[in-house]
Amino acid sequence: MFEKVLVANRGEIALRVVRACQELGVAGVAVYSDADETALHVRHADEAIRIGPPPAGKSYLNVDALIEAAKETDAEAVHPGYGFLAENAAFAAACRDAGLVFIGPSAEAIEKMGNKSAARRLAGEAEVPVVPGSDDASSANEAAETAGGIGYPIMVKAAAGGGGRGIRVAEDEEGLRKAVQVARREAEAAFGDGTLYLEKLLVTPRHVEVQIMGDHEGNVIHLYERECSMQRRRQKILEEAPSPGISPKVREEMTEAAVRLAREAGYANAGTVEFLVEGDEFYFIEMNTRIQVEHPVTEMLTGVDLVKEQIRIAAGEPLSLKQEDVPMVGHAMEFRINAEDPDQDFMPSPGEVSFLEVPGGPGVRVDSA
């Protein structure tokens, strides 16, 4: 086991990882920009180190500063949390090259599964169903030809996308050509990669994702699914487990498909395989190569501490449980508390919080910082 882990993030997930480290007897090192010097994750960590000024590009997205911080504090491993550099293959590779253990999948697995069009191809090789579409739609002419064969409405999506960005819906060829231009610009601005692909738009699907965990001995298990269909602007606002909208048969087939895909990718550590579900049919859409915001839902359902499991696996330990040992007890729901203005179409509305009363009681968990 490690003696010291640097947490390359801030806020709620940084605090979550620091606590997991401490419960394992591992020292947790926090990083902070000038704006976060007194943040909760900094105050609870065993050690803290400044990494730069407030702009994320000069601090939490600054690979060189994070690597230097890990070396300066004698950390042996780096946990990226979620967001920022968590799904950045170059960061995972930089950690490895610096002699640090990246607590997550390998750079190669992130590269393989992080590109959504490449992940679609791999899913096909693993015999996992995918939504009808194309792997490359960067040319408007090629996209129009492909869409003509698939049928409208159709979605134009960024291959390197995430968080609902770089996605447009087209109802006809004219709309498709505009959508390709807009989505490409948005993808280049947000992800530095304008590669696009197409997917047939399913009219009334459910969004269901499967939590998987793999170790470095080739073992992969699933920890059931999470229902994530309630979204606003393609951003999840409520998650629950198990899903109330799928049959036991679909659950069994879909979780088996998620494990099969992870094995095909040579995947180790925590990951989430996302599907769209219509009736008894399910289709792979993407894989998130990190711990999820909604991981507490799975933890409440199964009693498995996913962050501790991540750390153990990265330290070279095998999975602590087998598939038949993963329990499903009760039902869990997660509600994301966002600062929004309901009178302005729930647009973001940041400001000072003057009063906050945190709920409590049996079965209630609040993750915040």
Catalytic residues: 290
Contact 215, 321 (CB under 8 A): no
Q: How many whole angstroms separate alpha carbon 23 and alpha carbon 223?
A: 22
Q: How many whole angstroms separate alpha carbon 275 and alpha carbon 129?
A: 9
Q: How many whole angstroms separate alpha carbon 290 and alpha carbon 268?
A: 11
**Which of these, 268, 210, 261, lies nearest to 239 by C-alpha position?**
210
Contact 364, 337 (CB under 8 A): no
* Cα-trace Rg, the chain: 21
- Residue given tokens 């490449």 in the structure block: 118
Q: What is the per-residue burial (b if ≥16 Cβ within 10 Å, else e) of 62-76?
A: bbebbbebbeebebb
Virtual CA dihedral for 217, 224, 369, 42, nearest 10 degrees? 0
Contact 321, 299 (CB under 8 A): no
Q: How many whole angstroms separate alpha carbon 16 and alpha carbon 20?
A: 6
CA distances to 49, 83, 114, 339 from 195, rounded to whole Å, are: 37, 21, 13, 32
∠122-128-133 over CA atoms, to 5°? 70
The DSSP symbol for 8 reads -
Dihedral of alpha carbons 1, 316, 91, 267, sign? negative
Instruction: List the structure tokens of 249.
Output: 């048969």
- Residue 271: strand pairing partners: 212
